[in-house]
Amino acid sequence: MLHIVRHALQLYPDAVAEQEQCVAQIVAGTAGSTLILTEHPPVFTIGTSGKMGDVKSRIVDGDMIEVYPTGRGGEVTYHGPGQLLCYVVADLRRDKNLHQHVWRLEEMVIVTLQHFGIVAARSSRGIGVWVDGLKIAAVGVRCRKWVAFHGVSLNISPNLKHYQGIVPCGMADAPVTSMAALGRTVLRREVESVVQDAASQLFVV
């Protein structure tokens, strides 16, 4: 069974520390794969392919936004209130297929959005989940000793103006959207319920 952890709000460094602990426990054989559902105060994170130059401003729409380099793959992205972070700490030592893991993360979101009447898909523009050419979920992962962590962020109703402070995922045209922007007003707990069901089917432990 996939272990589920929920946090109402969590500082980004605390979320990374929690995942690191989960990775260590899986490697030690004392825990199994875990799905952490959480939310962060406004923060820009810089992945291993990103650069500080893609952070254009730390003050956006009147809000001061923290910046953290992080070990996940990908470039610069935004996390903040109204966005559901789905961190999947998964034991891949049996199949050792990171591409399949990323596919599962994307599929988890695609299935979730379908439940709410939103047709989403993958795109040749890059990994993540897209709706009509706009990115609604960003994916970034890291793998250590074939245990994957980090995961996917799904835009439910974040302040999309905050994306103006960065070049999101290296795309200067900043093609982002959210469930709210698409006319779907839903509560985080409703989305979490569907995500949990999808994850339990996709990430078999």
Residue numbers annotated as active site = 169
Distances (CA, A) of 140 to 57, 67, 86, 189: 22, 16, 11, 23
Q: What does DSSP assign to residue 176?
A: B
Q: For residues 43 and 65, give the distance between their C-alpha atoms in angstroms, rounded to a whole number.
A: 5
Those residues whose C-beta lies under 8 Å from the C-beta of residue 158, and which sit 6 or more positions away, are 78, 80, 81, 82, 83, 178
Instruction: Report residue 45 as tokens.
Output: 């994170």
